[in-house]
A and B are shown apart, each in its own frame.
Chain A
Amino acid sequence: MSAEDILVSFQGVQKSYDGEQLVVKDLNLDIAKGEFLTMLGPSGSGKTTCLMMLAGFEPATHGEIYLDGRPINNVPPHKRGIGMVFQNYALFPHMTVAENLAFPLQVRKQMNKAEVAERVQKTLDMVQLGEFGNRRPMQLSGGQQQRVAVARALVFDPELVLMDEPLGALDKQLREQMQYEIKHIHEQLGVTVVYVTHDQSEALTMSTRVAVFNDGVIQQIAAPDVLYEKPDNAFCAQFIGENNTFVGEIMSVKGETCEVKLVDGSVVTSNKIDAASAVGSRTTLSLRPERIEVNPSAKSKYANAFEGTVKELIYLGDHIRTVASVCGNDEFIVKIPNSSEHASLSVGEKVKLGWTVEDCRALDA
Chain B
Amino acid sequence: MAIHPYSTVPQRAWHYSYLIFCAIVFFFLVAPLVAVIPLSFTSGAFLIFTPEMLAFDPEGYSLRWYRLLIGDCSDAVVTTVCSDKWVRGAKNSFFIAICATVLATTLGTLAAQAISKPYMPFGKVIMAMMISPLIVPLIITAPAISLWYSELNLTQTYTGLVFAHTVLGIPFVVITVTSTLVGFDQSLMRAAAGLGGGPVYNFFKVQMPLILPGMISGGLFAFITSFDEVVVVLFIGGLEQHTLPKQMWSGIRQEISPTILSAATILVLLSIVLLTTVELLRRRSDRIRGVTGR
Chain A residues near B (Cβ < 8 Å): 55-57, 76-84, 86-88, 90-94, 103-104, 107-108, 136-139, 152-153, 156
Whether A90 and B188, one on each chain, are in contact in the complex, defined by CB atoms closer than 8 angstroms, is: yes
* Between-chain CB contacts (< 8 Å), 24 pairs: A57-B190, A77-B193, A78-B192, A78-B196, A78-B197, A78-B198, A78-B199, A79-B196, A83-B195, A86-B190, A88-B185, A88-B294, A93-B288, A93-B289, A103-B195, A103-B205, A104-B195, A104-B196, A104-B197, A107-B195, A107-B196, A108-B196, A153-B194, A156-B195
Interface size class of B (residues with CB under 8 A): 20 to 34
Partner of A94 from the list B191, B201, B288 (CB cut-off 8 Å) is B288
Partner of A92 from the list B188, B201, B289, B291 (CB cut-off 8 Å) is B188
Q: Which of A76, A78, A108, A156 has the most CB of B within 10 A?
A: A78
Whether B190 and A77, one on each chain, are in contact in the complex, defined by CB atoms closer than 8 angstroms, is: yes
Whether B210 and A94, one on each chain, are in contact in the complex, defined by CB atoms closer than 8 angstroms, is: yes
Kindly list 19 other residue pairs between chains A and B, CB separation below 8 angstroms, not including A93-B289, A137-B292.
A55-B194, A77-B193, A78-B194, A78-B195, A78-B197, A78-B202, A80-B194, A82-B194, A84-B195, A92-B191, A92-B192, A94-B209, A94-B288, A103-B197, A104-B197, A107-B195, A107-B197, A138-B293, A156-B196
- Residue numbers in B under 8 Å from A152 (CB-CB): 195
Whether A90 and B209, one on each chain, are in contact in the complex, defined by CB atoms closer than 8 angstroms, is: no
A108→B195 CA distance, assembly (Å)? 9
- Answer whether residue B231 sits at the interface, using C-beta atoms and an 8 A cutoff: no
- Answer whether residue B254 sits at the interface, using C-beta atoms and an 8 A cutoff: no
- Residue numbers in B under 8 Å from A107 (CB-CB): 195-197, 201
A79→B195 CA distance, assembly (Å)? 9
Q: Which of A55, A82, A86, A93 has the most CB of B within 10 A?
A: A93
Q: Which of A79, A94, A104 has the most CB of B within 10 A?
A: A94
- Answer whether residue B206 sits at the interface, using C-beta atoms and an 8 A cutoff: yes
Q: Which of B192, B195, B289 has the most CB of A within 10 A?
A: B195
Whether A103 and B294, one on each chain, are in contact in the complex, defined by CB atoms closer than 8 angstroms, is: no
- Answer whether residue B74 sits at the interface, using C-beta atoms and an 8 A cutoff: no
Chain B residues near A (Cβ < 8 Å): 185, 187-188, 190-199, 201-202, 205-206, 209-210, 288-289, 291-294
Closest to B201 in A: A107
A93→B187 CA distance, assembly (Å)? 12
- Residue numbers in B under 8 Å from A82 (CB-CB): 194
A91→B288 CA distance, assembly (Å)? 13
A79→B198 CA distance, assembly (Å)? 8
- Residue numbers in A under 8 Å from B191 (CB-CB): 84, 86, 90-92
Smallest distance from the beta carbon of B185 to chain A beta carbons, Å?
Answer: 7
- Residue numbers in B under 8 Å from A81 (CB-CB): 196
- Residue numbers in A under 8 Å from B187 (CB-CB): 86-88, 90
A137→B210 CA distance, assembly (Å)? 14
- Residue numbers in B under 8 Å from A76 (CB-CB): 193
Smallest distance from the beta carbon of A168 to chain B beta carbons, Å?
Answer: 13
Q: Which of B188, B196, B198, B206 has the most CB of A within 10 A?
A: B196
A55→B192 CA distance, assembly (Å)? 12
Whether A93 and B292, one on each chain, are in contact in the complex, defined by CB atoms closer than 8 angstroms, is: yes
Known A92-B206, A94-B288, A107-B201; judge A84-B194 contact (CB<8 A). yes
Smallest distance from the beta carbon of B104 to chain A beta carbons, Å?
Answer: 24
- Residue numbers in B under 8 Å from A88 (CB-CB): 185, 187, 294
Smallest distance from the beta carbon of B191 to chain A beta carbons, Å?
Answer: 4
A125→B187 CA distance, assembly (Å)? 26
Closest 7 CB pairs of A and B: A138-B291, A90-B191, A104-B195, A84-B194, A77-B193, A107-B196, A90-B187
Smallest distance from the beta carbon of B177 to chain A beta carbons, Å?
Answer: 17
Smallest distance from the beta carbon of B133 to chain A beta carbons, Å?
Answer: 32
Closest to A79 in B: B196
- Residue numbers in A under 8 Å from B293 (CB-CB): 138
Q: Which of A81, A84, A92 has the most CB of B within 10 A?
A: A92
Q: Which of A82, A104, A136, A137 has the most CB of B within 10 A?
A: A104
A78→B198 CA distance, assembly (Å)? 6
- Residue numbers in B under 8 Å from A104 (CB-CB): 195-197
- Residue numbers in A under 8 Å from B195 (CB-CB): 78, 83-84, 103-104, 107, 152, 156
A181→B64 CA distance, assembly (Å)? 76
Smallest distance from the beta carbon of A205 to chain B beta carbons, Å?
Answer: 25
Whether B196 and A90, one on each chain, are in contact in the complex, defined by CB atoms closer than 8 angstroms, is: no
A87→B293 CA distance, assembly (Å)? 14
Closest to A57 in B: B190
A55→B196 CA distance, assembly (Å)? 11
- Residue numbers in A under 8 Å from B292 (CB-CB): 93, 137-138
- Residue numbers in A under 8 Å from B194 (CB-CB): 55, 77-78, 80, 82-84, 153
Closest to A107 in B: B196
A259→B57 CA distance, assembly (Å)? 116
Smallest distance from the beta carbon of B287 to chain A beta carbons, Å?
Answer: 9
- Residue numbers in A under 8 Å from B291 (CB-CB): 93, 136, 138-139
- Residue numbers in B under 8 Å from A77 (CB-CB): 190, 193-194
Q: Which of A88, A153, A156 has the most CB of B within 10 A?
A: A88
A84→B196 CA distance, assembly (Å)? 11
